[in-house]
Amino acid sequence: MKKDIRKLITNCCIFSIPIFVWALTLLFVDPFNYFSKNKIVDEQTKLQSARKLNSLLYNTIAFKNNPTPNVIIGDSRIKRLPIKEIKNINGDEYFILHSNAAKLNEIIDLFWLCNDFTKLENVLLGINFNLYNEYAYASRVQEVKEINTNPLLYIFNGSVLEITFKIIFNQITGLGFPNISRNIMLKKAMDGKSTLDKQAWWNFNINTVAKNQYSKYKYPKELKDRLEEVSAYCLKNNIKLTLLNVPHHKDYRKRIIDFKLQEEEKIYKNDIKSIGNVIDYDYANLITECKKCFTDPIHTNDSINLIIVKEIFRDSLVIGKKL
């Protein structure tokens, strides 16, 4: 009997060695900076790898490590807003908490997650009508929330495993990470070419992405209720809540007409007026009429992002308008 117990203990120790080695390796590499901002792997490498693979996990951990009372939350359309310019204007430090392809329910989840980490003062939500749809739904934030409270879930997370081995491989070989965004990789997948015509990608967004977003629509009553809950909380706790209705190029906006959703968009804008301070850029204006102002039909370029930030934070709207 004692021999069997000793054998069992020995086997457990042997099988636990790989787990121990993995945990130790992760502690040193730590691609998402869960445990510390170590210097073994430089931050640029982590940005080029971990944040691109799982922007939601990377950014939420970054916010947890260095929470600010001022935060901008949204999808990829707000990730390049120049927060350094905001600091130049009013001295406030802002954190951009974005997740690629974030849905409105996830943006609301991220608001409450931020609220768990710090006492919020200023919150800007980047939204648009294409998110105000019951069918536009995802549920990734709950997993991230659980990871943030349970280190074991981080240690054995698939994204963490994948990126850790990639970083180790690239550190050893010196190959580095190709500076390829998710969108470019998707474009490559479309026709198998190494480079793609920008117009082809533009058309893909107009014809396919817009169709996926607008062809099936249902009024999102639960989303409206949740936004009202956020609004009430902000009023009660003296948090300034601003909703940025991000601009789309007119080619993309035309799809709202194609799918006969003009009235639904009006209802959306009327709904969000009651939630907080709304700055609207998604209507016929100098930005939405300008193709050069966009990298694709729904992402404005850095010059336009700078204009938007200056208008909002200097409270001097020229193109944007309050609803």
Tokens of 293: 């102002």
Whether the pLDDT of residue 155 is over 80: the answer is: yes
* pTM of the predicted protein model: 0.88
Residue 45 pLDDT class (50, 70, 90 cuts): confident
CATH superfamily of 67-135+180-323: SGNH hydrolase (3.40.50.1110)
Helices marked H in the chain: 2-29, 43-53, 55-65, 83-90, 104-117, 141-149, 151-155, 158-173, 182-191, 198-204, 210-214, 221-236, 250-258, 262-273, 302-313
Q: How confident is the model over 283-297, as pLDDT tens digits? A: 999 999 999 999 999
Task: Give 96's contacts (C-beta < 8 A, 6+ positions apart).
Answer: 59, 71, 72, 78, 79, 81, 83
Higher pLDDT, 5 or 181: 5
Identify the pLDDT of residue 53. 86
For residues 112 and 48, which has the higher predicted lDDT (pLDDT)?
A: 112
The confidence band for 22, taking pLDDT boundaries of 50, 70 and 90, is: confident
Predicted pLDDT at 13:
64
Give the pairing of strands 122-127 and 240-245.
Answer: parallel
* Alpha-carbon separation of residue 244 from 123, 179, 247, 254, 282 (angstroms): 10, 29, 9, 20, 9
Domain limits, CATH 3.40.50.1110, in the chain: 67-135+180-323
pLDDT tens digit sequence for 70-99: 999 999 999 999 999 999 999 999 999 999
Q: pLDDT band for position 298 (50/70/90)?
A: very high
| pLDDT higher than threshold 90 for residue 67 | yes
Give pLDDT, residue 196: 58
pLDDT confidence of residue 87: 97
* Tens-digit pLDDT profile for residues 172-202: 776 655 544 444 444 444 444 444 578 999 9
Confidence of residue 8 (pLDDT cuts 50, 70, 90): low
